[in-house]
Structure 1
Amino acid sequence: MISTAFAQTAGAASADSGLASIISIAPLVLIFVAFYFLMIRPQSKRMKTLQNAIANAKKGDSVVTGGGLVGKISRVEDTVFEVELAPNVKVKVLKGTVSEVTPLGGGKPAND
């Protein structure tokens, strides 16, 4: 009932199906690798830099909070900064809410 030629191609098709399944998974792997190098790795580097800046922050440094408040650190405690927003206006800010730390001298001067 089954011709010999048809029986021989059935075995070859099963070998090709293994290769086809690998080829069908390859684009997903490539997308994940690209996602890692374009999104995950830079974000983790940025977070590590911010954590180091917060750990090394000292009195006089300027900070920006997650809520958009900008002020100067007047006191450093274990989990909070005391930030002076204006003359005689001081608030306590959790270290986890700080989104940017600028050292006392500021950044680099402009190339004007």
Structure 2
Amino acid sequence: MFVSPAYAQAAGGAGGAGAIAQFIPLILIFVIMYFLILRPQQKRAREHRDMVAALKRGDQVVTNGGLIGKITDVKDEELTVEVAQGVKVRIVRGSVAQVVSTVKPVAANS
């Protein structure tokens, strides 16, 4: 019914190798989370930051709110987007979700 004193004394603490083996699954979970969640999220954030930095006048964009329009003016952190003829909206650069079409630079005639 009760555990004999001999068994209780024989069960000692885990050794150095046993303690490390207990942390291996935890370490593997963090490594898997890094490669499946954190790394792709950082890559998407970097691509969005590059896309926002490359915005220029004439690009057709979609905002996070769903507005589709053409950029008419670019300032430091502010864009003016024409969503309809004569209707212009000022938005923050970071609110651009994607670029639908870009304007190709015109070659200089020499």
Normalised by the length of structure 1, the TM-score is 0.74
Aligned residue for 2:33?
35
1:72-102 deviations in Å (ceiling 9; x for gaps): 1111011111001111111001012122223
Give the drift of 1:21: 2.0
8 Å contact 1:57–1:103 — kept in the other structure?
Answer: no
**Structural RMSD (CA):** 2.4
Q: More helix by proportion, 1 or 2?
A: 1
Secondary structure of 1:67 counterpart: coil
Secondary structure of residue in 2 paired with 1:91: strand
Rounded Cα–Cα distance in structure 2 between residues aligned with 1:99 and 1:28: 36
% identity of equivalent residues: 42
The AA in structure 1 aligned to 2:66 is: G
Gaps of 5+ in 1: 106-112
Deviation at 1:19, TM superposition (A): 2.1
State the number of aligned residues: 99
Alpha-carbon distance in 1 for matches of 2:98, 2:67: 11
Could you tell me which residue of structure 1 aligns to residue 108 of structure 2?
none
